[in-house]
Structure 1
Amino acid sequence: MELEGDDLKAVLNRLRRAQGQIAGVIRMIEEGRDCEDVVTQLAAASRALDRAGFAIIATGLQKCVADIEAGRTNGEEATRMRTRMEKLFLSLA
């Protein structure tokens, strides 16, 4: 599966945001900041990563549905794709 255009930009932005938040968490720990502040920032990073993952999965699902509707996918292949997407979704749950 390949991300393109706006989908790619959105995922990259979320990942960059998470990267910055994780760097912030590291800095906060090194500075001995309050535990509650660190956990709050860590939760924000986790949500950003989850959203990036869900965006990737949603794009994959959209592509799978389009392929099925266009007749580019037979029944067996559609079942395989569904199983793969389900596994990916559950890996984030």
Structure 2
Amino acid sequence: MKTVEKIEKEKITELKFSKKEVLENEVEKKRRNFELMRAQALGNLLKNKVNITFETADEKIYQVSTTVWAVGAEYVSLKQNLFIPVNAILEVD
């Protein structure tokens, strides 16, 4: 497994993302969507943070601790007008 590097959410704008889907099967994708919706509810109702692990275009793995404000079909919206493509997210916890 690749090393996971912790990153501050403000640094996300410096990263490049690929259009490639990082998860291989439908069960993993459904679980990711469920966890993103859960994270959105936690963020909006309780202001709780979650850890989002994601992959960039250069195939590096990062993890950010943040509040999820909104989940769309293609992007997850974080505080300070920051976005992570859904297809780049490996895990939410």
Q: Do these two structures clear the TM 0.5 threshold for a shared fold by scoring above it?
A: no
Q: What's the TM-score once normalised by structure 2's chain length?
A: 0.29
Specify which structure has the bigger relative contact order, considering alpha-carbon pairs within 8 angstroms and separated by 6 or more residues: 2
Structure with greater strand share of residues: 2
Query: What TM-score, normalized to structure 1?
Result: 0.29
Highest Rg: 1 or 2? 1
